[in-house]
Amino acid sequence: MAHVWRMIAQRLALGFLTLFVVSLLIFGATELLPGDFAEAILGQSATPETIAAIRRDLGLDQPFHTRYVSWLGGVLQGDFGNSLANGQPVIELITKRLGNTLFLALYAAAMAVPLSLALGILAALFRNSIFDRMSNALALTSISFPEFFVAYILILWFAQSGMFPSIVRLSEGISFGETLYRCFLPALTLTLVVTAHMMRMTRAAIINLLASPYIEMARLKGMSPIRVILRHALPNALAPIINVVALNLAYLITGVVVVEVVFVYPGLGQLMVDSVSRRDIPVVQAVALIFASAYVLLNLTADVLSTLSNPRLMHRR
């Protein structure tokens, strides 16, 4: 197990280095946003003196490196600063929306992961059959469509008929079942987008193992095809499957921006888009850094789980 802990330490160090570079890119990119927040507050009739006073009060007149060091020091202490739009602490704005984004991602994952594994196993079991060809065609079609197009198609089919709401309204006091009902369309959109990739990877990993000698021996012993796949092929295909599942879970958390905007879902993606339009730089920086941290953490989790699921990596000679 010593090499596993060493690998985890190396991945953590690389993850922190990656986040440091990403924080530089995020802070620099927000500086390139068009417009000026002080002018947006005061309007076109503002004088240069009042604009300079507002910029001085907000600290926008300081050099780039000074503001970056101050911001990074606050982030390391859990302080993302205050919103320029309403003066509230950024951490409070994020806390309200983070739970909604995680709920939507877990909702979609609860549908996508079992569905993709089942379809991938069945496609490998009935290789080159009509089911295999149809599932691959549908998977390629789903991958080819962008999220907003899938979302609007689902709205056209389900929302206009009155089956599900097209705009997600979450409020305190509603039941868990009502929450699932209101969030079904955005969760289904994310499910359709990520299921195809996971299903194709599961199918490819299992088919790649079906030509192995031990699989041939299991078949010669008279085992049924489904037992050969579930008992012998699937456990040895877990490493690539875990990797693709973890990457798609990272996408579900970080790639919800478009889906949240389409369904007006009160999550981090919607908050980020609103903050960009208002040039609320501290909120944009905080949300982008949270998305990057989630992606790095899930990549680390995928590496560790892939190692633990592979006996050849766990028990080196």
Q: Among 50-54, 110-114, 191-195, where is mean pLDDT lowest?
A: 50-54
Residue 296 included in any domain: yes
Give the CATH number of the domain where residue 165 resides: 1.10.3720.10
Is pLDDT at 1 greater than 80 in this prediction?
no
Q: What is the pLDDT of residues 123-167, one digit of tens each?
A: 888 888 899 889 888 888 888 888 888 888 889 888 888 888 888
Q: Which amino acid is at 133?
A: R
Residue 69 included in any domain: no
pTM above 0.75, yes or no: yes
pLDDT at 107: 92
Phi, psi for residue 207 in degrees, rounded to 5: -65, -35
Residue 190 included in any domain: yes
pLDDT at 247: 80
pLDDT at 314: 58
Residue 264 included in any domain: yes
Q: Which two tokens stand for residue 173?
A: 């006091």
Q: What is the mean pLDDT of residues 107-112?
A: 90
* Number of domains making up the chain: 1
Residue 38 included in any domain: no
Higher-pLDDT residue of 33, 204 = 204
Residue 172 included in any domain: yes
In terms of residue numbers, what domain contains 241? 90-314
Residue 154 included in any domain: yes
How far apart, in Å, are the Cα atoms of 47 and each of 41, 55, 59, 78, 278? 12, 13, 18, 36, 20
Residue 85 included in any domain: no
pLDDT at 42: 63
